[in-house]
């Protein structure tokens, strides 16, 4: 209260179950009253604070004492480390000998070493926290994490979840990336990775196996004629899944540009609800964290999710000979209520074929 604000200046942030929404001041003026407190729950359309439009003469004086208050602790913080050091050295010391110890520590820092040695035999327990602590602290779940927990548990309780696996030889895709990554970077200003290829391959497979791109709505099955693919992105607050829309009509470079844009927005906490809405299929890349094998959880109400994993060199049989190839395990978790094993396995094989021979993605076969 009393702080001046400029128009469009952020004055608050509302934490939802998906994103944090910044609240900007509609006018320039002075805050006169706060109508809610931090951590309060609010509803749509609720007033948050009162702003007196237009700068007032007394508002100029408001920030001055604050700047002075902020400046004072800075001066006080300078001598603050000295008593902290003294407290560590002679733990049972009283307040009277402290002024005598200050010049000793400044003049002869070596004298600070025997202090803990003297206190060790009299207080041997005081050294225990330095070796290891058994403390605990409690942190409140943010709304996003609570919502993630609810959605994942809902997925387990609702879907008849099953997972099928396969392995992909990444040799040709790695060669494609090495050959053209510099040209793509110089021409388009983006880095060519593997996610765009898996996203495009998934879109081709979704069109071939429409059940994987559908979902159950009551007594009906809803089929999508488009492929809106959610890409899982890790953020400090939790996992979010921004959506790349109409992937079936996008090129690899266009997909890569959209992935980079959405990933940056998510990491900068600028992702919007519109970016997360919808999605017909999800891809989760645990390989960036080193995961070798895993079963992803379906992102409801979708019916399937593809899990990518780390690329590891392994001996494999190629034309009757043992060769060392860069291999990746992939997993497809699917809702068995709508997708049978044949469709799930066929979908994963089509992704495997497209990745192992990227020319298929250019020829749409």
Are the beta carbons of 286 and 307 closer than 8 angstroms?
Answer: yes
Confidence of residue 56 (pLDDT cuts 50, 70, 90): low
Diameter of the chain measured on Cα atoms: 87
Helix (H) or strand (E) holding 215: strand 214-217
Are the beta carbons of 292 and 309 closer than 8 angstroms?
Answer: yes
Q: Give tens-digit pLDDT for 174-188.
A: 999 999 999 999 999
Helix, strand, or coil here: 258? helix
Residue 161 has a CB neighbour count (10 Å cut-off) of 18
Is 357 part of the annotated catalytic residue set? no
Is 58 part of the annotated catalytic residue set? no
Q: Please report, for residues 187, 197, 200, 215, the alpha-carbon distance to residue 182 in angstroms, rounded to integers and kept in the order given.
A: 9, 17, 21, 40
Q: Give tens-digit pLDDT for 97-143.
A: 444 444 444 444 444 444 444 444 445 555 555 677 888 889 888 87
Helix (H) or strand (E) holding 293: none
DSSP state of 17: S
Q: Give tens-digit pLDDT for 248-290.
A: 999 999 999 999 998 888 888 788 888 988 899 999 999 889 9
Please state at what angle helix 171-188 crosses helix 341-356, rounded to 10 degrees: 60
Q: Are strands 29-34 and 4-5 parallel, antiparallel or unpaired?
A: antiparallel
* Rounded Cα gap, residues 360 and 362, in angstroms: 5
114-120: Cβ within 8 A, 24+ apart: 115/89, 115/90, 116/88, 116/89, 118/90, 119/89, 119/90, 119/91, 119/92
Q: pLDDT over 70 for what percent of the chain?
A: 79
Helix (H) or strand (E) holding 163: strand 161-169
Is 121 buried (19+), middle (13-18) or exposed (0-12) by CB count in 10 A?
exposed
* Rounded Cα gap, residues 182 and 45, in angstroms: 50
What CA dihedral angle connects 197, 200, 203 and 205, to 10 degrees? -50
Give residue 264's pLDDT: 85
* Rounded Cα gap, residues 86 and 96, in angstroms: 12
CA-based torsion, 333, 338, 341, 345: positive or negative: negative
pTM above 0.85, yes or no: no
Q: Are strands 243-244 and 321-335 parallel, antiparallel or unpaired?
A: unpaired
* Rounded Cα gap, residues 194 and 158, in angstroms: 32
CA-based torsion, 170, 176, 182, 187: positive or negative: negative
**Segment 233-255 mean pLDDT:** 88
Question: Which of the following is catalytic: 3, 61, 188, 336?
Answer: 336
Give residue 132's pLDDT: 76
Give residue 77's pLDDT: 43
- The answer on pLDDT for 211 being more than 70 is yes
Question: Which of the following is catalytic: 123, 217, 340, 364?
Answer: 340
CB environment 250-260: b (16+ within 10 A), e (fewer): bebebbbbbbb
Beta bridge partners of 234: 239
274 or 17, which is more confident? 274
Q: Please report, for residues 73, 87, 124, 296, the alpha-carbon distance to residue 119 in angstroms, rounded to integers and kept in the order given.
A: 32, 12, 8, 55
């Amino acid at each position: 209260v009393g702080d001046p604000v400029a128009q469009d200046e952020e004055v608050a942030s509302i934490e939802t179950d998906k994103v944090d929404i910044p609240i900007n001041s509609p006018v320039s003026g002075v805050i006169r009253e706060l109508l809610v407190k931090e951590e309060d729950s609010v509803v749509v359309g609720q007033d948050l604070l009162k702003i007196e439009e237009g700068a007032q003469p007394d508002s100029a004086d408001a920030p001055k004492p604050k700047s002075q208050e902020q400046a004072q602790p800075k001066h006080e913080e300078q001598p603050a480390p000295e008593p902290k050091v003294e407290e560590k050295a002679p733990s049972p010391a009283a307040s009277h000998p402290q002024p005598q110890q200050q010049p000793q520590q400044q003049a002869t820092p070596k004298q600070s070493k025997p202090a803990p040695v003297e206190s060790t035999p009299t207080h041997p327990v005081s050294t225990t926290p330095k070796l290891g602590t058994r403390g605990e602290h409690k942190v409140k779940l943010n709304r996003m994490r609570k919502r993630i927990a609810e959605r994942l548990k809902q997925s387990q309780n609702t879907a008849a979840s099953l997972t099928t696996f396969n392995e992909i030889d990444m040799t040709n895709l790695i060669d494609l990336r090495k050959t053209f990554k510099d040209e793509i970077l110089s021409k388009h200003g983006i880095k060519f990775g593997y996610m765009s290829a898996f996203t495009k391959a998934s879109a081709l497979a979704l069109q071939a196996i429409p059940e994987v791109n559908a979902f159950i709505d009551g007594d009906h099955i809803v089929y999508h004629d488009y492929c809106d693919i959610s890409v899982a992105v890790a953020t400090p607050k939790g996992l979010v899944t921004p959506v790349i829309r109409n992937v079936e009509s996008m090129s690899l470079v266009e997909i890569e540009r959209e992935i980079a844009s959405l990933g940056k927005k998510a990491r900068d906490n600028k992702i919007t609800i519109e970016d997360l809405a919808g999605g017909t299929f999800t891809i989760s890349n645990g390989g960036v964290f080193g995961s070798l094998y895993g079963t992803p959880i379906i992102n409801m109400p979708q019916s399937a999710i593809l899990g990518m994993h780390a690329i590891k060199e392994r001996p494999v049989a190629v034309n009757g000979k043992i060769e060392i190839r860069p291999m990746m395990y992939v997993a497809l978790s699917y809702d068995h209520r709508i997708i049978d094993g044949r469709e799930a396995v066929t979908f994963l094989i089509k992704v495997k074929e497209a990745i192992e021979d990227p020319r298929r993605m250019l020829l749409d076969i």
